[in-house]
Amino acid sequence: MLEAAIIGASGYSGAELLRILTQRNDVRIRKVVASSSVGQRVDAVYPSFAGRVDLEYEPWDPTACANCDIVFSALPSGESMKIVPQVLDHGARVIDLSGDFRLPTAALYERFYKHTHTAPHLLGSAVYGLPELSRAQIAEARLVANPGCYPTSAILGLLPVLEDKIIEPSGIVITSMSGISGAGRSATLELSFSEVNENIRAYKIGTHQHIPEMQSVLARVSAMEVSLSFVPHLVPLTRGLYTTIHARLDVPVTSDELFKLYSQRYHHEPFVRVKRQIPQVKDVVYTNYCDIAVYAYASSGQVVILSVIDNLVKGAAGQAVQNMNIMFGLPEREGLY
């Protein structure tokens, strides 16, 4: 049995990890850490766990994870890098759900995240945790940087056409719409029901912290510099993320040929479904699936790619559990659907 701990367990991603892991018989959650909820029972903060989780939120103590096989850090960016080195020093393997270890350099991190990186020595050893790209490296990793929700949907959508040099690597346009849970659990006026309901709003145009994550991973895939524009939107959904990608074709292809390319690329991937029909959010919520459809427009020389995930599952906790399964040699689908 795997012994696990969740740090930052009172947030949405932490609660989603609890939801997934408490349904398994091969994982025991030893500790749930949440500084804002210390002393409270999990089922008092999240009543849906009543009768299922008999745990109390504890303060952070680096020795608390000493006997754990795996520690999930679901802390906000800027906080995770303060505790991850301590966890690693105590021998546990770590899956970090923040953005603290996803980027190749501290300078790039500090430019987009606006924090000084306090553990830059770990950037070179952290493995980017997208199983469809880095499965072998994940299996051997001590520290996995779980991808962001926006990059997960965008990168999975773009991998086949960049790997096969089907599109130009410059001028890629990515538009994503996310449910409000992607903004976290902290209460703010702009995320209140009255502001979000019956409304759609773009934000962080050109400055979003996931831009360098997408660009650096896609550049590695294509072995060329990748330039893209990315505009995220908040939509009045609790969960779910819908991404539309436009790119210029480098070679003439049909939609049927692209469907075949994507189907072959993801044939052995347990959580990517390539579809003929237009995907929709309601088909992926509460699952670890990414649904993708792709269309070629010969008249304009463009391709349109649609990629849909649940931002809290494949975009966060579900992908983290998928990575855990890979790290410990467990069936990749275990505990996920």
Q: What is the widest separation between alpha-carbon atoms in the chain?
A: 62
Distance between CA 147 and CA 290 in Å, rounded?
14
Of 65, 68, 149, 290, which residue is the catalytic one? 149
Catalytic site includes residue 68: no
H helices present in the chain, as ranges: 12-21, 42-45, 80-89, 106-113, 131-140, 149-163, 193-196, 211-222, 255-265, 318-327
> HSE-up of 244 (CA within 13 Å, CB side)?
9
> CB-based contacts of 79: which residues, under 8 Å, 6+ apart?
8, 98
Torsion of CA 20, 21, 25, 30, to 10 degrees: -160
Task: Provide CB contacts within 8 A for 279, sequence distance 6+.
Answer: 291, 292, 293, 306, 307, 308
Cα distances from 165 to residues 43, 173, 189, 203, in angstroms, run 50, 17, 45, 31
Q: How far apart are CA 246 and CA 294, in angstroms?
A: 10
- C-alpha distances (whole Å) from 198 to each of 20, 179, 186, 189, 195 are 31, 13, 21, 15, 8
Q: Which residues are catalytic?
A: 149
